[in-house]
Amino acid sequence: MNGLASVEDIGIDLGSSNVLIYARRRGVVFNEPAMLAVDHETRNVIAIGLEAYKMLGREPNNIEVVRPLQRGTIQDFDMLNIMLNHFVVRVIGKHIFARPRAVLSLSASANEIEKRQLIVGMFEAGARRTQLIERPLAAAIGAGMDISQYNGRMVVDIGGATTDIAVIASGEMMARNTLDIAGDAFTDAIIRYVRLKHNLLIGFRTAEDIKCALGTVYPLGESSVALPIAGRNLVSGLPKQIEVTREEIAEALEEPLHQFLEGLHAVIERVPPELANDVFDQGILLTGGGAAMKGLQEVISEMMKIPCRTAENPQQCIAVGCGKVLEHPADFDRILGDSRRKGR
C-alpha cells in the first residue's frame, strides 16, 4: 500500500434514504434512493434505486418496494448487498484486475458482524479494501470543518431516518447520540395532518414533494402560498385534489419539530461543561438532506441560543467527507475503522 489512490477509488454514504457515491477526482457522481422493488413470492429484484422509488406508492400487488436500511439498522442483508453491488458497479464498471479502494460511512448502530458482512459485500462488488468511517466525522470533514482543533464543535447530520449528533474535538468524537427523528418524521407528520384535517390519504412521495416545496419550520416567506395535492378521499374512496398552504404545512411540522428540538436539547445537556462552552462559542453545523428544511437553522439558533449554520450542499457532506479521506489518507489514518482488514 503506497497510500496513493487510483482513479476509481470511491467514497460511499450508505444512508437509509439515499446512497451517494463520490469518485476520486470526479466528486459526487451518484445519488439514488436506497430502495429495491422486489417480487413478494419469488424474491426477484425488479428495480433498484431511482427506478424502485418511481414505483413506490403505485407498485402492483405482487411487488413491494423495500428499504434495506431502516432507522439506521440493516433490515435485509441480501437486499443491501444486491443494491450496493448494483450501485458500485454502475459507478466503477466491472473490473477484473484494477480493484478500487473504498471508504464507506454507515450508521453507528451497525454491529461488528454486520460491518464485516458489509466489507465482504463490498469486496464482491469489486472493492479491494473497504474502510469504515463514523458518520459525524465524515459529515464534518465533508463540510470543511477542521476536526483536528482541540475545542469542541457540534455537528448534527439530519438524514431520513436518523439524526446523528456528535461533539468533535482533537479529531475524535467526545460525545455522540442518535435520534430516531429526522426527515421521515416530518414527511409522516404531513401525511397524518392531511388525513386528519382534510380526510385525504396521500402517499409518501406526495408528502415528500410537498415538504420540500412548501415546508418551513420558521416564519419565512409568504404563508398563504398554496400547492395542489392529490390523494384519496377517505369518505368517498375516490381520488381528490385539494390545495394546502405553507401555513398548514408549518402547522403539520410543529410536532416533529418539537420532538427534534427536545432530542437535540437533551444531547447538549449531557455534553461535559468545557465542551458545552465550546459548542456555545463555535456553534452547531447542520448537514444531511434533512438540513435542507427551510427555517431549521433559524429555529435551532433561536431555541438553543447557539449559533447554527447549514453546510453547503448538506446532503452531500458525508459522501464528500468519505472522498476527502480517500484522497488524503495520511491526514485521516487515525479515524478509520477496519483499516487493515481486507475483504477476505
Ligand X SMILES: Nc1ncnc2c1ncn2[C@@H]1O[C@H](COP(=O)(O)OP(=O)(O)OP(=O)(O)O)[C@@H](O)[C@H]1O
Footprint of ligand X on this chain (CB under 6 A)? Answer: 15-18, 72, 159-162, 182-184, 187, 208, 211-212, 215, 288-290, 292-293, 315
Report the greatest alpha carbon distance in the chain. 68
Q: Select from 272, 269, 305, 263 the least CA-distant residue to 156.
A: 263
Nearer to ligand X, 15 or 121 (CB): 15
Task: Answer positive or negative: Cα dihedral of 235, 239, 240, 244.
Answer: positive
Residue 159 CB, nearest approach to ligand X (Å)? 2
Is the CB of 20 or the CB of 306 nearer to ligand X? 20
Residue 15 lies near Mg ion (rule: CB under 5 A) = yes
Nearest approach, Cβ of residue 42 and ligand X (Å): 28
Min dist CB 189 to Mg ion, Å, is 20
Report the nearest approach of ligand X to the CB of residue 344 (Å).
Answer: 27
Provide, rounded to whole angstroms, the least separation between the CB of residue 294 and ligand X. 7
Minimum distance, C-beta of residue 140 to ligand X, in the bound complex (Å): 14
Strands 63-66 and 45-48: unpaired
What's the closest the beta carbon of residue 183 comes to ligand X, in angstroms?
Answer: 2
Name the residue nearer to ligand X (CB basis): 73 or 199: 73
Q: Tell me whether residue 186 or residue 332 sits nearer to ligand X (CB atom).
A: 186
State the sign of the Cα–Cα–Cα–Cα dihedral 254, 195, 291, 217.
negative
Task: Specify the residue, 15 or 295, whose C-beta has the smaller distance to Mg ion.
Answer: 15
297 or 315, CB closer to Mg ion?
315
Q: Which of 14, 33, 50 is nearest to 127 (CA)?
A: 14
Work out what residue 256 binds among ligand X, Mg ion, none; the CB cut-off runs from 5 to 8 Å by kind.
none
Tell me how far apart the alpha carbons of residues 263 and 274 are, in angstroms, rounded to a whole number: 21
Rg of the chain in Å (alpha carbons) = 21
Nearer to Mg ion, 15 or 121 (CB): 15
Q: What gap in Å lies between CA 315 and CA 260, rounded to an integer?
A: 18
How many residues touch Mg ion under the rule CB under 5 A: the total is: 2
Report the alpha-carbon distance of residue 166 to residue 172 in Å, rounded.
9
With helix as H, strand as E and coil as C, how does 205-243 read? HHHHHHHHHHCECCCCCCCCCEEEEEEEECCCCCEEEEE
Which residue from 267, 310, 314, 265 is spatially nearest to 289, judged by alpha carbons? 314
Q: Which of 159, 256, 321, 323 contacts Mg ion by CB under 5 A?
A: 159
Nearest to Mg ion of 72, 126 (CB atom): 72
Q: Which segment (66-74, 155-163, 168-176, 320-328) binds Mg ion by CB under 5 A?
A: 155-163
Residue type, 281: D
- Shortest gap between Cβ of 234 and ligand X (angstroms)? 24
Q: What is the spatial distance between Cα 172 and Cα 12, in angstroms, rounded to a whole number?
A: 21
> Out of ligand X, Mg ion, none, which partner does residue 206 contact, by CB within 5 to 8 A per kind?
none
- Contacting range for Mg ion; rule: CB under 5 A; set: 10-18, 89-97, 114-122, 261-269: 10-18
C-alpha distances in angstroms, 134 versus 39, 67, 171, 342? 34, 21, 12, 18
Which residues, 129 to 148, sit near Mg ion by CB under 5 A?
Answer: none
For residue 72, state whether it binds Mg ion (rule: CB under 5 A).
no
Q: 34 near 69, Cβ under 8 Å?
A: yes
With CB under 5 to 8 Å by kind, the binding choice for 83 among Mg ion, ligand X, none is none
Which residues form the interface with Mg ion (CB under 5 A)?
A: 15, 159
